[in-house]
Amino acid sequence: MKPLALYDADCGFCTRWIGVVQRRVPGVAVAPLNHVDLAALGVDPGRTELEMPLVRPDGSVVYGHLAWADILRAAPAPACWLGIVLGSRLLQRPARGVYTWIARHRHRLPGGTPACSLNP
């Protein structure tokens, strides 16, 4: 079973980046959040408002920067190295901070639309 990345299909920024995953990381499956049973997958619906979830093959769920670290580790080199670095213990705090900033500002980033805006 492949890891499953879940994304907000109403967000142009998210859809754009998940398209990159589909093209470049065949080892990761993707699905829109509203097309799956979140409870059956063990995904916290509240967290999906702020962070992208990834369901690992063992059924565990990671969110945000850790989800992206897993995705990148599944990519071919050199992107897999970025995944290793992003998921390293040493970079947890800065990686979380960068992910949070991007998530809060995704409506202003390339591909972003008003639908990408997070509710405060």
Identify the pLDDT of residue 118.
Answer: 62
- Output DSSP code: residue 35: G
Identify the pLDDT of residue 120.
Answer: 46
- What's the rounded Cα separation, in Å, for the pair 58 and 1? 9
Identify the pLDDT of residue 11.
Answer: 82
Which residues does residue 91 pair with via DSSP β-bridges, in sequence order?
none
Whether 43 and 54 have beta carbons less than 8 Å apart is answered as no
- What's the rounded Cα separation, in Å, for the pair 1 and 20? 20
Bridge-based pairing state of the strands 4-7 and 53-55: antiparallel
Identify the pLDDT of residue 49.
Answer: 84
Instruction: Going residue by residue through the chain, which has 120 residues, state the pLDDT in tens, using 9 for 90 and above.
Output: 899 999 988 888 788 889 999 999 999 999 999 999 999 999 999 999 889 999 999 999 999 999 999 999 999 999 999 999 999 999 999 999 898 888 888 777 666 666 666 654
